[in-house]
């Protein structure tokens, strides 16, 4: 019993850096790109920072650690401040998942460099870096699902014709039900596992070529 508790707590500890980094990088990237495209809302709300306190939702963080489903503080934007609202909203939506993939790639490069340079590091550090890679890839995949209000839904909505986009927006009232169904069934594993392996395989191939 106590061994199980100890293992659970250890998993939470080694997973915490990966979760926090994934949250902060994701939300900061949304804010930074929105600001660069002309929307000052993220700046006014104090989101142009890498300080975890500005982006991490405590309840969402605990939920992620306990049940692997949680959330960060959403970055509020006003597309009307953009010169091209539909295009720029897509760019802002892509910024979060893209930054997570870049973060995962950088973490993998660091791990490979440590190994190639024969720099000693503990097994605990190896696990932490692996969790950073996994959580960031997972954040990118999950947020690209076309379920409102995830990033994927923003992208799809802006690509649809106006009338279809309006109808698609009405699905947001059912988004929580969709998420529960996905999380309570094996559906997500059929998406996550193959995509995880595919993305990691690409990253590993690139790193092997570069290093």
Cα separation, 180 vs 204, in Å, equals 33
Residues 6+ apart with CB under 8 A from 39: 77, 78, 79, 81, 82
Question: If you write DSSP's letter for every residue of 94-142 in order, what string do you get?
Answer: HHHHHHHHHHHHHHHHHHHHHHHTT----HHHHHHHHHHHHHHHHHHHH
3-class state of residue 63 by DSSP: helix
Which residues participate in catalysis according to the annotation?
A: 27
- Looking at residue 69, the DSSP 8-state letter turns out to be -
Which residue reads 């954040």 in tokens? 139
């Amino acid at each position: 019993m106590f061994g199980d508790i100890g293992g659970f707590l250890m998993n939470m500890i080694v997973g915490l850096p990966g979760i926090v980094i994934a949250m902060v990088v994701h939300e900061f990237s949304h804010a930074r790109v929105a600001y660069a495209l002309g929307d000052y809302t993220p700046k006014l709300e104090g989101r142009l920072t890498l300080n975890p306190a500005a982006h991490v939702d405590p309840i969402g963080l605990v939920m992620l650690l306990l049940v692997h489903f949680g959330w960060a503080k959403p970055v509020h934007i006003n597309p009307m401040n953009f010169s091209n609202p539909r295009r720029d909203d897509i760019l802002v939506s892509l910024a979060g998942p893209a930054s997570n993939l870049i973060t995962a790639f950088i973490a993998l490069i660091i791990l490979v460099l440590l190994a190639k340079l024969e720099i000693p590091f503990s097994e605990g550090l190896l696990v932490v870096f692996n969790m950073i890679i996994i959580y960031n890839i997972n954040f990118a995949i999950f947020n690209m699902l076309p379920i409102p209000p995830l990033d994927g839904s923003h992208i799809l909505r802006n690509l649809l014709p106006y009338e279809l986009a309006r109808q698609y927006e009405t699905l947001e009232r059912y988004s929580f039900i969709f998420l529960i169904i996905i999380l309570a069934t094996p559906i997500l594993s059929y998406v996550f596992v193959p995509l995880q392996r595919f993305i990691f395989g690409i990253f590993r191939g690139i790193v092997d070529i570069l290093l």
